[in-house]
């Protein structure tokens, strides 16, 4: 009785390796815990008020429970545009932050300097450099 040796073709090996890599790298809720909550939004400041509005947005951001990242950035091609990137442990933490006295004060102070909001996208952050789970 002779046994034949199965030798897969190159395509089978590549597809199998790719599938294995995806399975190994894929996050699982059981290991990682609840999904994080993220937002990326573009805010438009009143003309010549972007710097002042950014200063207000950055006040007291270190005291927001559940906030893993809060990044405010100037748009280099639009003098009035501000991009805000947020990562939270969960959506509830983000909603709770909007009720904090410091955040309410910043909203009231900054409101007259806001011309509008161009876009906002809700995300489910997975990980990355500098992002630590809470």
- Report the half-sphere exposure of 84 (CA within 13 A, side-chain side): 21
pTM for this model (two decimals):
0.72
Query: What is the arithmetic mean of pLDDT over 36-45?
Result: 97
Q: Which two tokens stand for residue 23?
A: 């399975």
What integer best gives the mean pLDDT of the chain? 81
Q: Report phi then psi at 78, rounded to 5.
A: -135, 110
Question: Which residues face 83 on adjacent strands?
Answer: 42, 73
Residues 6+ apart with CB under 8 A from 98: 104, 107
For residue 41, the tally of other CB atoms under 10 A from its CB is 15
Band of pLDDT at residue 60, cut at 50, 70 and 90: confident
């Amino acid at each position: 009785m002779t046994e034949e040796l199965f030798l897969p073709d190159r395509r089978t090996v590549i597809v199998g390796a790719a599938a294995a890599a995806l399975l190994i790298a894929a996050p699982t809720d059981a290991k990682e815990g609840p999904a994080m909550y993220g937002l990326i939004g573009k805010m438009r400041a009143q003309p010549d008020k972007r710097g002042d509005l950014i200063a207000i947005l950055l006040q007291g951001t270190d005291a927001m429970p559940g906030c893993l990242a809060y990044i405010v950035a100037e748009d280099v091609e639009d003098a009035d545009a501000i991009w805000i990137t947020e990562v939270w442990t969960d959506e509830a933490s983000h909603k709770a932050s909007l009720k904090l006295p410091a955040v309410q004060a910043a909203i009231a102070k900054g409101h007259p300097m806001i011309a509008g909001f161009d876009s906002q996208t809700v995300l489910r952050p997975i990980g990355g450099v500098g992002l630590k789970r809470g």
